[in-house]
Chains A and B, each alone.
Chain A
């Protein structure tokens, strides 16, 4: 423990049980105004449909609720507490002005079905963000409807399928590199395409020869993450696009790693036909403990007829409105228009940055990843020496000799006051440590991180058990996940 006490400290806070364990009859945190219409006889009105009892719903006071959730919150790590270097997740700072503008009355309380005449503000936001994302990606058209990245993938592949169908053959399969996110193959299955794996070459890039061999008229599209999950830019990207296009296939780009490209290079310019963005990664909307996200899909002109309905258009009188009359559309992927609140935040982010700010953001993100690579090279094994963009992938090869794996190092990092990096992904690197600092980190914060990682590497040599038993500083130690899955307890029940 000698290494960590200098840098990180612990503090005490109260234990906090489940809210149900604090409940007792008569406590309340709500108050309704007096009813200004006659009372009703619910039994007479609802008959057998009347609910008599709400079971074990809690009864607690307001201060108890405030303390309950505040205490719970202190058991979380967060970007606001320090570097959160989860590779592929782009844990950047979430600006607070985004939160403020999303709560302005007319924006927070707009009803999705209010007449278009009094929805011009929301429509203006949708249109402006759409235009700016099109400029950023170099694509032609966009839909903001998908609720998250995986939902965007589904929407994108639905359009791919509709496009091929319009040419008379929907085709059978999607090529997916072995380094891809799990959502890619899961999405292909949802759109009823078979998945065919594509090997990476020794540089960690798409193996061009393999692609040429596997490409044929059955392939609807290649789903490619660029930079890929090794943080490597696919240098032969145009060749890849050409191989696909020559056989009538489409190039789908998973935009999870767009934080390496904004303002520096545009997917639309290097041959991408369909791509999704993650507003909760690249465009700073908060991850919120797992969501909400937003997964706009940008496409080339040829796929425009297939966009989900509705589409925002400018009407003849100059006002904005929704166009529902799109006979070739793939249909709706979600009720209403998407996660509008996330559009507001993403637009505020783009406004705060402007063209120069966005470019610098990308430069800083790539610079930071390379700084960490330099700092840890030699201490941790670097399986691919190909140049790094916004994230860098090491492996636990050196530490494994002492029986220490990537997850152990990750858990030990918690004791040093950091959130772990992404472990064991991408799958093509055994024992991967995937580190993405983003542009938000200062040199000081990264130096602290590098120092922590080096210190852990020393511990692995001198005292591996300390690392294997980590974390030592958290409220709970390593949890028994096997027991949780074997006999699932998925809800609280009162003691008998």
Chain B
């Protein structure tokens, strides 16, 4: 090949690079490894990474069963190793599956259009808010404190340089957005209100009431959904103007936080301000149905600095996992799946309530709940770890006002015996704290 090109050595190919910058040594990285060594390396890392633990963690990343056919199908090279479907004639597989994905997201969210995916739930929420800013011509945003704290952080990062002032509406004793406080924060400059439902505590927000308040003041309502399985049994936020979703629960592995699958869904009239790719139906020269990427004039490769977003690469293969999951469970299965999640959480919360305090009890919730304990949840959790169990997420870091509280999650994979064991360990902790405090009192009296 070198001879064909008319060169003597490979080095001649790199002549355009000034000699002083050319690397004259090996990169300082380990030698080539055989496939068996690579597999060994990652098996070893796996053993150091919570393999074999039972977990009660949720908080925006949920452990649901993944039907095996998801991986069988997404491993097909024609899906796995294809690029973005710009060349429609040889991308109909990807395009049609995205069209089905968009349809099912619309069915589940009650919205009219959905895009082909965003990076994740947090960036989808931020982009959903920016959409509302463009649509209303207003700039400020009211965010619920019951929105995932890391989603709030991401929004703050995006908002800083967009000139979008943020204010935060707290939650009441019922674990939901404090409506009076919310209304006070809305001004004629408020572009939108951003909430999550079920919210970070697992509690279902009064979406209709919040929508009324927002709309009364000419602001839009953006609703984030972090636990997609809730859509099987919880009424979707139909009053929302934009829904920004995380679809990880639908067949996407936890994978230490990513890749996941964000989605934005909205009303048809807002579609031209939507970020991200969209697939539309059309016909070919013979009138045969086919699918193409469409409304690209919103996007960066056409509009450059005037685009609705800079997003290019999205989460297509993950959206395909979500698509297959939705197809497997379908109209009946999703409902039954959601019911099991609800039943497990109801049972667990009931058991915990016998020993600790379950917060926000009177409000409807899905598969997460907050347990307040006498002992620091970090201490409780380190004891659970000894039983190969990961307890609920301690909330001190995000919500110091809740004291010794932790966010527990149950899914269809959480067994009754695991719940009973965890409850038993928490009960033990409560008893020992109580008896030691009694002892202290006794000692004080004695002194």
Contacts and interface: CB of A to CB of B under 8 A. Distances in A.
B258 A113 contact: no
Given A29-B330, A111-B57, A69 B81 contact: no
Contacts of B69: 29, 62, 65-66
A66 B41 CA distance: 33
A102 B74 CA distance: 14
Nearest to A340: B256
B337 to A, nearest CB: 6
B256 A70 contact: no
Contacts of B51: 105-106, 109
Contacts of A30: 67, 328-330, 333, 336-337
Contacts of B425: none
B434 interface: no
A187 interface: yes
Contacts of A210: none
A351 B32 CA distance: 6
A188 B22 contact: no
A99 B255 CA distance: 13
Contacts of B311: 148, 150-151
B364 A69 contact: no
Contacts of A342: 258-259
B435 interface: no
B317 A40 contact: no
Nearest to B6: A374
B19 to A, nearest CB: 10
A78 B82 contact: yes
A324 to B, nearest CB: 8
Contact of A103 (B71, B92, B331): B71
A147 interface: yes
A66 B381 CA distance: 42
Interface string B1-37: 1101111001001111110011100111111110101
Contacts of B255: 102, 107-110, 340-341
Contact of B87 (A56, A410, A492): A410
B175 interface: no
A270 B306 CA distance: 32
Interface string A157-170: 01001000000000
Interface stretch (B132-140, B340-348, B368-376): B340-348
Contact of A72 (B14, B96, B282): B96
Contact of A28 (B7, B113, B233, B330): B330
A214 interface: no
Interface in A134-166: 135-136, 147-151, 153-154, 158, 161
Contacts of B128: none
A182 B119 CA distance: 18
Given A101-B39, A264-B23, A479-B282, A149 B313 contact: yes
Contacts of A45: 342, 346, 364
A42 B234 CA distance: 9
Interface residues of A, number: 186
A354 interface: yes
Question: In which size bucket is the chain B interface?
Answer: 35 or more
B121 A335 contact: yes
B324 A332 contact: no
A367 B39 CA distance: 31
List the 5 shortest-distance A-B pairs measured between CB atoms, nearest first.
A288-B317, A336-B257, A80-B77, A121-B49, A106-B46
B82 A77 contact: yes
Nearest to A48: B235
B1 A51 contact: no
Contact of B340 (A35, A65, A356): A35
Given A45-B342, A70-B76, A59 B332 contact: yes
B61 interface: yes
B75 to A, nearest CB: 7
Interface centre among B80, B112, B299 (most CB of A within 10 A): B80
Contacts of B231: 51
Nearest to A294: B259
A119 B332 CA distance: 37
B87 A419 contact: yes
Contacts of B116: 290
Contacts of B31: 354-355
A356 B320 CA distance: 36
A152 to B, nearest CB: 10
A235 B63 contact: no
Contacts of B443: none
Given A114-B390, A135-B27, A54 B89 contact: no
A110 B121 contact: no
A357 interface: yes
Interface in B263-300: 268, 271, 277-286, 288, 290-292, 294-297, 299-300
Interface string B303-334: 11111011111111110100010111111111
